[in-house]
Amino acid sequence: MDQDELLTEALRLAIDPPGGVSVDALRELTRDDDAGQWDIATTAAHLGVNPHTLRYYERIGLVSVDRDTAGHRRYNAPAVRRLVFLTRMRTSGMPISDLLRYVGLVEGGGATVPERLEMLLEHRDTLRSQIAQLQLALAATEFKLATYKEAPRP
């Protein structure tokens, strides 16, 4: 391959990497309200976090969790949906302070939708910028890999 072909292939791999995002990865944002309740271990495993994180989110007021008659946490569908969103936002770098502000706005009702929308638009713009920079770094890595594969071996 010539340099332009290597660059083009590197860019393609950076923009559409193997194993990209799927609808299934987001499905829990719309989890059915009739779905069963989960204990803390099941919820933590499902979200890919440890139970300590879930307890912390509850303690600081990011999520409200029901308890069974024995006092064990039971995560219903709305709690899981919120936790899916919160963990995705934390993964994307949103600070806890912003999450607290966002949850406070959600609990403030429909009148806060414009402010929530503005928060998420700003976060989206930040993510798009970060993704563009990461894609460029990935493309540079893919180019170097392709160059090394094409290079004559000693």
Nearest Cα to Cα of residue 18 among 131, 137, 138:
138
Q: What is the pLDDT of residue 93?
A: 95
Range of the domain at 11: 3-150
pTM above 0.75, yes or no: yes
The number of distinct structural domains making up the chain is 1
Assess whether pLDDT exceeds 80 at residue 30. Answer: no
CB atoms within 10 A of CB 103: 20
Q: What is the pLDDT of residues 88-123, one digit of tens each?
A: 999 999 999 999 999 999 999 999 999 999 999 999
Q: What is the pLDDT of residues 6-27, one digit of tens each?
A: 778 777 776 776 666 677 766 7
Report the chain's mean pLDDT, rounded to a whole number.
89
Q: For a pLDDT cut of 90, what percent of the chain falls above it?
A: 68
**CATH number where 117 lies:** 1.10.1660.10
Q: 11 Cβ partners below 8 Å, 6+ apart?
A: 139, 142
Q: What is the pLDDT of residues 127-148, one digit of tens each?
A: 999 999 999 999 999 899 989 9
Whole-number Cα distances in Å, 70 to 67, 75, 78, 93: 8, 14, 21, 36
